[in-house]
Amino acid sequence: MRVIWLPLLASVGTMALLYWIGNIFNLSLLRFSFVLNEPLKNGLIFDANIAILPFVFGLLVGFIVERIVKVRSK
């Protein structure tokens, strides 16, 4: 059971931490922003800026943690 949850938690935790750092320090490479503008006749307009870098680092950390757990469980 630890083989599944530990890499997943490490990956999601890393992503959340990096997005949080990006929003606190206003770093565009680590920032997640969602802006909802005024509704228009044609519908609702919104703008979403999502950085890919925290997602990549999160996947990388999850992969590394998974390998470490597999090696130690042998």
Give residue-wise pLDDT tens across range 34-63. Answer: 777 767 677 767 777 888 999 999 999 999
Domain that holds residue 8: 2-73
Angle ∠(7,21,49) on CA atoms, nearest 5: 90
Q: What is the pLDDT of residues 58-68, one digit of tens each?
A: 999 999 999 99
Q: Quote the number of domains for the chain.
A: 1
Whole-angstrom distance, CA of residue 9 vs CA of residue 73:
18
